[in-house]
Chain A
Amino acid sequence: LHGCAPVWLEIMKWNGWGYSDSRFLFNKKGQAEFTGKRYRLSGMIIPGLKDWFEGTFGANLQHKTPPTPLLTNTAVPPATLNEAFVEEVKSTGIPFSHDAEDRVFRAHGHCLHEIFALREGKIGRVPDMVVWPSCHNDVVKIVQLACKHNVCLMPYGGGTSVSSALECPPEETRSIVSLDTSQMNRILWIDEKNLTAHVEAGIVGQDLERLLNESGYCTGHEPDSMEFSSLGGWVATRASGMKKNIYGNIEDLVVHIKMVTPQGVIEKSCQGPRMSTGPDIHHFIMGSEGTLGVVTEVTMKIRPMPEYQKYGSVVFPNFEQGVACLREVAKQRCAPASIRLMDNEQFKFGHALKPQVSSIFTSFLDGLKKFYITKFKGFDPNHLCVATLLFEGNREKVLQHEKQVYDIAAKFGGLAAGEDNGQRGYMLTFVIAYLRDLGMDYYVIGESFETSVPWDRVLDICRNVKARIIRECKDKGVQFPPLSTCRVTQTYDAGACVYFYFAFNYRGLSDPVHVYEQVEHAAREEILANGGSLSHHHGVGKLRKEWMRDTISNVGMGMLKSVKDYVDPNNIFGNRNLL
């Protein structure tokens, strides 16, 4: 038996991010290029990347750390199968597999340590079997059988977790079955009167948008991982989308959720837009991280596709001014669909990713712009930072809105810096994960993590966390200064979401992943000490579990535990996330 999603497996990397055909590499001339045809950057030469890469990390193209090319089946632990369960699943006709590749593919998310181990060909505990239900009823059957035979179920959506949520608990002795929702990917209906769509939870973001677009609609939910992450995963982790200012985060978007638990199916009886019926049961489901059951179907709000979209960007003399501007925009509640502020390091990073310009004229213009900003306006290239903007709506309103935002920016010393810079900023969102794989080819490892924090602490948390990362790297014997950078990616009435990137050259370290984990741990402590949250949208998984009690209090833990105990007394959904 082989998995029924071979296509997916073949077009995706097994030990890195994204599509197999898309990757960064340094060509024979030492120039960086991005392969494939899927992205705007695909097939382009990126002349600045090599210098930036070598300069920032002290890396050297001669010093390579290539991954183990192929998965050797012998490295994969043999499957522990629950024969009775397998037999009964077989009789239902639901496809399943215990092929090594299928199992390894679903044994990890995209945390650094997970990918690092894969590249080294090291495989830990993996699911013993994969099942592919194709509808809600299939899931009901699987969950019933799992309960009957006491096997451990781990729901799997898009596999983009960055919280160790997909890691199999090594102490689990039962057979672990990965429940892959990818075949539950249909839009079941669209309700144009109420502007909702009823969708199976296995659908991935880009398919959902594409299919809705065909009918003239969109959800507007665009997390950075939307190419690969699934609707069910969004619900299970409390996902946030780039354009939440217009469309809202996942909790604002869902109208109805259906989840299969060991106790049966949980769902509401109607689709009322808001209810006062005790604590909202959706909030037990959202963020449950696969510990209570499998989300099978979701009714979601949809919107007509926007008539007009416009990117934009603003350059600020320094990060402080930029944050002050974002705060003002939030205060006036006029945030565009997306507004993000990158710090100076990230601005330089973005700059290094500019593809080769074809005409002398463009490069002349670029030079002129740079001259204007740094010389004429007196911005210090080592302090300036840039905000990227995305406006959506009808043309007239967009233009009006744009003016309003630029006027506010001007009060904080911001200069409009063009659509192109803005658009490139958003494109980077999708290719940045590929860049980590490039780094890993040359001794550079890194990751991103996020938090949310009240407005008055944004600057302090950015400064302190970045400083802590640099200090910890030094203390842990990292030979070169790390890249430690952040951006403010979402604005709210009462605070903002801040995203940190952190990467370093690990030459000379005997256990780089351990060093990485220590630094990330320290950075998280720093975040918490500065009033930041444990997570804004990545979730807790197993990576951040240790801080849950402090985060939600003893009573809070007790509440969540008692829900788990009622819903899943035998810990069938045994991924051990969250609690």
Chain B
Amino acid sequence: MTSSSQYKDSGRAGLEDVDEFVDILEERRRSSDLGYAFRTFNPQPYKGAPSCSTADLNKAVLESQYLSYMAKEIAMETGSSVEEVREEVCGILEEMSQNLQLGFIRMMAYTLSKVFKRLFTSILVNMEGLNMLQQAVQESPVILMPNHRSYMDFLAISYILFTYDIPVPVIAAGIPLAGMKMVGEILRRSGAFFIRRAIGSDKLYWAVLSEYVKTIVRRGFAPVEFYVEGLRSRTLKSLLPKLGMMHMVLEPFFKGEVYDITLVPISISYDRVLEESLLAHELLGVPKPKESTTGLLKATKVLQENYGSMHVNFGRPLSVRQLCHGKINRCQFNLVPRDLPQQPSAEAQACVSWLAHLMVRIQEEGLLISPWSLMACMLLQAPTTVLTEEGLLWHQLTEKTLWLRKLALDFGARLNWPGQVPDSDVISSTVALHCSVVQRKAGRVYLVQENEPLRKCPISPEDGVIRMAAPLLMLASYRNQSMHVFVRPAMLATAIRVTESTQRDELFSFFCFLQDVFSNEFIFIPGKSPQDFEEACVLLKKCGAVNFSQQEVMVLDAGSEVLSFLQALLQPFIDSYQVMFRYLCEEGVHVLSEKQFLPAVRNLATELILSGELCTYEALSSDMQKNVLSALRRLEAVTKLRASEQNEYRVNKAAVRRIGDILSRKIPPQMLQTTPDARL
């Protein structure tokens, strides 16, 4: 290992546990990819059980008592014969199952070496995490839980594990990938198994999937990799965890079928995300292209560009046994045969949900914040006209970014700020890397707007808004990469401004209200509001913005810059939510479907942007729009119509208005809902 291949994130200087990141591409640039792909792959296997072939695995699933029971039950319910159901099971399993083969891993390793070298300057991996993982795979079944920001994530983990002689995982993937010609099969043989979207109430499908996943975990022959966020995040922000898979992987521990399960959170951070522009357009309602092989080939133009570095931070392996200690009484599984379906108890559900949220939080903490993300925070706080017309002064951006770097460090963020380079160079190279979003001209920075389409008639003002929105949403996404660092203090800062109070309990109740409203935007571990609040106080105190006691939080004079930055950081969310609340409270809206809601809100937001009433373009993001609906459903201000096929909702205007009024402090907050489970 040469010294140049070692990368220390100097951003965390002062912390003792400075992780050592190693660039795995360095070796690839120096030696033959073919030789690498065909080297001896000799991972230390899991001690608990022998390896298990695809055929063995599928046979075990098919012959499981659970599936025979479910098949009988479903046959009874649907009136079809057990044989028919069994056949269906076989079909599902065939569609689902992975077919991990070393040969294909080698092929993938070869191809990915080529692709990665073209795309990235480096892929940096923390060796300590890998070493711990290597130990962990021998001890218990391992669940790899990366965040999901790009298609590049998909095989990156397998690639790294292959490189370091660790058993390659089987990976839960969305079914659309399986439909791609060739690629689907290649992924399958590289260990992917495919899960349908929107399984809903398809009981048989759930049964097959869960038995399949549980069997893999019980056998422990390969790590299971899955995205607890369920989907690729379009906004580069963490998504609320999905609990279905989480339940499945944990159940073998709950039922004592394995001694322990190891969870390994993995944080993947990109300097620049390949799909950045695609994602922004998707958020604006241009639908995502269907995954297809030709689409993939067309995307090869993205291969021409540079995407900076990718950081893969393997978190400390966590023992489910230890995490769940005292949180779940496993005796509850004693009275029903373990092979039969059992509705999870409230306790088990709460435990799984807590664990899933915790994992996402740990992923967030493991992310490396790029200079660009800090810059994006700053850029978004400049008026839009400055970005598009006057241009932001270069030295101003530099200063502010450096100021924010200090704040982020105070808040304990991990930065990937290059160490041995002057700060000005860092800023320049960062802007250069993101030339698709901003460009530097004559000492100023401008937003890059999309090329005007060749057409005669001038574009309408509405189209102008949409065109402007794309780069702004890209910026917002990059800002989101560091939101988790700032969100708690930002909520406190907002509470301080909105309530104009210094009373701790008053601030706390508004803080909780904000958490309630925005818990689809940001990840908060259920039931941990007091700790979150405490953390916010401590961080604001640390950076000299406030002082606090048992009763009070006092703003310090020196704190105004921090506080106003933090308030401004959260403002786009508040403003966007208010726009949508306003739409829902309009005359005429009583029952609406998601399909109607999105364009209607988009129109209203466009109108308000044009009139200058709304400053943020984020209200145009379909992600935020959907989050508002979910939040209101959670707060019981809208209810889903049970009979409705097309996701129709009934709006309780008074309730929506009340939430909006609290948010703008027209009325004081009251607890909108009871906390999900106080025990958590």
Residues of chain A lying within 8 A (CB to CB) of residue B337: 456
CA distance A456 to B337 in the complex (A): 8
Residues of chain A lying within 8 A (CB to CB) of residue B69: none
Interface residues of B (CB under 8 A from A): 48, 256-257, 259-260, 329-331, 333-334, 337-339
Known: A529-B330, A550-B331. A456 touches B259 (CB 8 A): no
Residues of chain B lying within 8 A (CB to CB) of residue A531: 256, 331, 333-334
Residue A461 interfacial (CB < 8 Å): yes
Are A457 and B259 in contact, CB atoms less than 8 angstroms apart? no
25 CB contacts below 8 A, A to B, read: A456-B337, A456-B338, A456-B339, A457-B256, A457-B338, A460-B256, A461-B256, A463-B48, A464-B256, A464-B259, A467-B259, A467-B260, A468-B259, A528-B331, A529-B256, A529-B329, A529-B330, A529-B331, A530-B256, A530-B330, A531-B256, A531-B331, A531-B333, A531-B334, A550-B331
- Range class of the A interface residue count: 10 to 19
10 new A-B contacts at CB < 8 Å, known A457-B338, A467-B259, A529-B256: A456-B338, A460-B257, A463-B48, A464-B256, A468-B259, A529-B330, A529-B331, A530-B256, A531-B331, A531-B333
Question: A-B pairs with the 10 shortest C-beta distances?
Answer: A529-B330, A530-B256, A531-B334, A467-B259, A460-B256, A464-B259, A460-B257, A464-B256, A528-B331, A529-B331
CA distance A463 to B333 in the complex (A): 18
For chains A and B in complex, what number of residue pairs have CB atoms within 8 angstroms?
27
CA distance A531 to B257 in the complex (A): 11
Interface positions, chain A 518-545, Cβ under 8 Å from B, are: 528-531
CA distance A530 to B260 in the complex (A): 12
Nearest CB of chain A from residue B350's CB, rounded to whole Å: 18
CA distance A457 to B330 in the complex (A): 13
Residues of chain A lying within 8 A (CB to CB) of residue B256: 457, 460-461, 464, 529-531
Interface positions, chain A 445-469, Cβ under 8 Å from B, are: 456-457, 460-461, 463-464, 467-468
Residues of chain A lying within 8 A (CB to CB) of residue B257: 460
Nearest CB of chain A from residue B141's CB, rounded to whole Å: 13
- Nearest-CB residue, chain A, relative to B339: A456
- Nearest-CB residue, chain A, relative to B338: A456
CA distance A461 to B330 in the complex (A): 13
Residues of chain B lying within 8 A (CB to CB) of residue A529: 256, 329-331
CA distance A321 to B260 in the complex (A): 23
CA distance A460 to B338 in the complex (A): 12
- Nearest-CB residue, chain A, relative to B328: A529
CA distance A464 to B260 in the complex (A): 9
Nearest CB of chain B from residue A455's CB, rounded to whole Å: 10
Residues of chain A lying within 8 A (CB to CB) of residue B339: 456
Which DSSP category, helix, strand, loop or mixed, fits chain B's interface? Answer: loop
Residues of chain A lying within 8 A (CB to CB) of residue B259: 463-464, 467-468
CA distance A529 to B321 in the complex (A): 12
Nearest CB of chain A from residue B220's CB, rounded to whole Å: 12
Residues of chain A lying within 8 A (CB to CB) of residue B331: 528-529, 531, 550
- Nearest-CB residue, chain A, relative to B260: A467
Residues of chain A lying within 8 A (CB to CB) of residue B333: 531
Nearest CB of chain A from residue B51's CB, rounded to whole Å: 16
Nearest CB of chain A from residue B60's CB, rounded to whole Å: 14
- Nearest-CB residue, chain A, relative to B140: A467
Residues of chain B lying within 8 A (CB to CB) of residue A456: 337-339
Interface string of A458-494 (1 = CB under 8 A from B): 0011011001100000000000000000000000000
Nearest CB of chain B from residue A129's CB, rounded to whole Å: 43
CA distance A9 to B337 in the complex (A): 50
CA distance A460 to B329 in the complex (A): 17
Nearest CB of chain B from residue A122's CB, rounded to whole Å: 34
Residues of chain A lying within 8 A (CB to CB) of residue B48: 463
Nearest CB of chain B from residue A44's CB, rounded to whole Å: 37
CA distance A460 to B617 in the complex (A): 56
CA distance A550 to B329 in the complex (A): 11
- Nearest-CB residue, chain B, relative to A550: B331
CA distance A480 to B491 in the complex (A): 51
CA distance A528 to B334 in the complex (A): 9
CA distance A467 to B337 in the complex (A): 23
CA distance A457 to B260 in the complex (A): 16
With a 10 A CB-CB cut-off, give which of B329, B331, B339 has the most chain A CB atoms.
B331
Residues of chain A lying within 8 A (CB to CB) of residue B334: 531
Residues of chain B lying within 8 A (CB to CB) of residue A528: 331
With a 10 A CB-CB cut-off, give which of B48, B256, B330, B338 has the most chain A CB atoms.
B256
Residues of chain A lying within 8 A (CB to CB) of residue B338: 456-457
CA distance A467 to B319 in the complex (A): 14
With a 10 A CB-CB cut-off, give which of B259, B331, B339 has the most chain A CB atoms.
B259
Interface positions, chain A 4-32, Cβ under 8 Å from B, are: none
Nearest CB of chain B from residue A386's CB, rounded to whole Å: 22
CA distance A529 to B259 in the complex (A): 11
Residues of chain B lying within 8 A (CB to CB) of residue A468: 259
CA distance A377 to B333 in the complex (A): 40
CA distance A312 to B70 in the complex (A): 42
CA distance A457 to B337 in the complex (A): 10
Residues of chain A lying within 8 A (CB to CB) of residue B330: 529-530
Nearest CB of chain B from residue A387's CB, rounded to whole Å: 22
- Nearest-CB residue, chain B, relative to A532: B334
Residues of chain B lying within 8 A (CB to CB) of residue A530: 256, 330
Residues of chain A lying within 8 A (CB to CB) of residue B260: 467
- Nearest-CB residue, chain B, relative to A551: B331
- Nearest-CB residue, chain B, relative to A466: B259
Nearest CB of chain B from residue A524's CB, rounded to whole Å: 12
CA distance A67 to B338 in the complex (A): 48
Nearest CB of chain A from residue B545's CB, rounded to whole Å: 42
Residues of chain B lying within 8 A (CB to CB) of residue A550: 331
Nearest CB of chain A from residue B371's CB, rounded to whole Å: 43
Nearest CB of chain B from residue A528's CB, rounded to whole Å: 6
CA distance A457 to B258 in the complex (A): 11
CA distance A456 to B333 in the complex (A): 13
Nearest CB of chain B from residue A239's CB, rounded to whole Å: 25
- Nearest-CB residue, chain A, relative to B256: A530
Nearest CB of chain B from residue A290's CB, rounded to whole Å: 28
CA distance A468 to B496 in the complex (A): 50
- Nearest-CB residue, chain A, relative to B48: A463
- Nearest-CB residue, chain B, relative to A460: B256
With a 10 A CB-CB cut-off, give which of A456, A461, A529 has the most chain B CB atoms.
A529
CA distance A81 to B635 in the complex (A): 71
Residues of chain B lying within 8 A (CB to CB) of residue A467: 259-260
Nearest CB of chain A from residue B520's CB, rounded to whole Å: 35
Residues of chain B lying within 8 A (CB to CB) of residue A457: 256, 338
- Nearest-CB residue, chain B, relative to A320: B49
Nearest CB of chain B from residue A65's CB, rounded to whole Å: 33
CA distance A479 to B202 in the complex (A): 53
